[in-house]
């Protein structure tokens, strides 16, 4: 079994995470923490599991492939925590945990009697990650918000696409996924604050639009500091600061080229149009590139369109210029560099492969312990037994419909 060569117990193996989240954002946080050993207990309703079980493509065994990845290395507990008995179990779990995550609309936990004040009465050192469309405060906090709304509000959609056409969303749930990543970062900051004595448990309040707003980074200072608009620019860099674009080679493959400074841009020009062109005085400073960008793009396009992709990439590499093939998923799965890095994880007897843990830690690497399990409440009995409930108590909860147990 290929498990990305991770240790049995990762650096977060002393952290228990209760995941009340659903769909992508909060579950992504849980998956990222589980990759590095956290004991993540995902809580689902006994009657209806997370919708990610059904969203998207299904593997040959009938299980959603996205679910297999988002629920990987998590224990699955079915629990109706809105009942008195379920609330009592949830309290015991909270008392044993370091982190709880949720991504309901603001007010849902409060109406269920589970406000942060109550949770911190049960466990003063609990880190509570709260993900919502617009955050827990502000005039829009009560509104429902999904990832695409976050991509719109952050400015990402406005910056993506061609200037004479509609704004575009990227080809993956960028807002939800980056929120999951930023949620994991926030959780680790809050845990470190406890460890260093700066605080006890606290709420990490994260709106879905905020991670992209932060990661785009340049659009707000460009507008406010330089009084320049920032608009979508098709296949070029925003505002055409440096040469960059996507071009089709003679064999139909797509290539992206880019530069990050005047020096690297001149190497790009030398590869596409010769050293004499690159050495012209107008290209000695970045401002000259923006002024002549149409000419630059036409010349790069003309060169690339006359050659096959492999020749173009090798030629640009010989000039120490950046040109890269645009990969589809089959290219990803066959690439020698990706394979050498161990970035794709597979399991014996399982056709579905997933992207392995990132980042790469030299001494305590991450590990995918198992893929998301099919059954709602697959680990219910084990989790409750670990809390000290005996067989009679578990059977009583089963009869009342407060939990489910696929093995019962």
Catalytic residue among 39, 80, 176, 205: 176
CA 227 vs CA 163, 223, 224, 230: distances in Å: 19, 5, 5, 10
Question: Which residues are CB-contacts of 334 (< 8 A; sequence separation ≥ 6)?
Answer: none
CA distances from 363 to 5, 11, 36 (A): 11, 10, 12
Q: What's the token pair of residue 36?
A: 């590095």
Phi then psi for residue 192, to 5 deg, are: -65, -35
14: Cα within 13 Å, side-chain hemisphere: 4
Candidates 149, 198, 153; CA nearest to 173 is 149
Q: How far is Cα 327 from Cα 305, in angstroms, rounded to an integer?
A: 18
Tokens 């198992």 found at = 370
Handedness of CA 382, 388, 392, 396 (dihedral sign): negative
Query: Is residue 350 within 8 Å of 369, Cβ to Cβ?
Result: no
Active site residue 176: yes
Catalytic residues: 176
């Amino acid at each position: 079994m290929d498990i990305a060569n991770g240790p049995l117990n990762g650096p977060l193996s002393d952290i228990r995470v209760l995941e009340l989240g659903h769909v992508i954002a909060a579950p992504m946080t849980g998956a990222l923490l589980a990759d590095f050993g956290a004991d993540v207990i995902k809580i689902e309703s006994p009657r209806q599991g997370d919708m990610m079980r059904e969203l998207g493509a299904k593997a040959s065994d009938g299980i959603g492939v996205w679910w297999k990845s988002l629920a990987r290395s998590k224990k699955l507990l079915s629990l109706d925590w809105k009942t008195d008995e379920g609330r009592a179990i949830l309290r015991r779990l909270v008392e044993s945990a370091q982190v709880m995550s949720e991504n309901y609309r603001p007010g849902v936990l409060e109406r269920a009697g589970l406000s942060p004040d109550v949770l911190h009465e049960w466990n003063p050192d609990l880190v509570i990650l709260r993900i919502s469309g617009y955050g827990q405060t502000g005039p829009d906090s009560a509104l429902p918000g999904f990832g695409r709304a976050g991509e719109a509000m952050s400015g990402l959609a406005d910056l993506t696409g061609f200037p004479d056409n509609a704004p575009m969303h990227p080809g993956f749930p960028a807002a939800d996924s980056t929120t999951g990543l930023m949620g994991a970062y926030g959780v680790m900051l809050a845990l470190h604050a406890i460890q260093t004595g700066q605080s006890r448990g606290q709420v990490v309040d994260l709106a879905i639009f905020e991670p992209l707003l932060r990661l785009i980074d340049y659009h707000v200072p460009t507008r406010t500091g330089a009084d320049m608009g920032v608009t979508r620019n098709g296949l070029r860099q925003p505002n055409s600061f440096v040469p960059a674009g996507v071009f089709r080679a003679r064999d139909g493959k797509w290539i992206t080229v880019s530069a990050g400074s005047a020096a690297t841009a001149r190497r790009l020009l030398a590869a596409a149009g010769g050293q004499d062109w690159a050495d012209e005085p107008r290209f000695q400073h970045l401002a000259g590139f923006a002024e002549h960008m149409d000419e630059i793009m036409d010349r790069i396009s003309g060169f690339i369109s006359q050659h096959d992709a492999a020749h173009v990439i090798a030629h640009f590499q010989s000039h120490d210029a950046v040109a890269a093939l645009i990969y589809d998923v089959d290219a990803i799965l066959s690439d020698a560099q990706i394979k050498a890095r161990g970035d794709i994880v597979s399991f014996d007897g399982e056709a579905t492969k997933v992207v392995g843990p990132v980042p790469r830690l030299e001494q305590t690497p991450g590990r995918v312990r198992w893929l998301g399990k099919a059954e709602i409440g697959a680990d219910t009995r084990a989790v409750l037994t670990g809390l000290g409930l005996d067989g009679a108590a578990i059977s009583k909860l089963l009869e009342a419909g407060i939990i489910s147990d696929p093995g019962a």
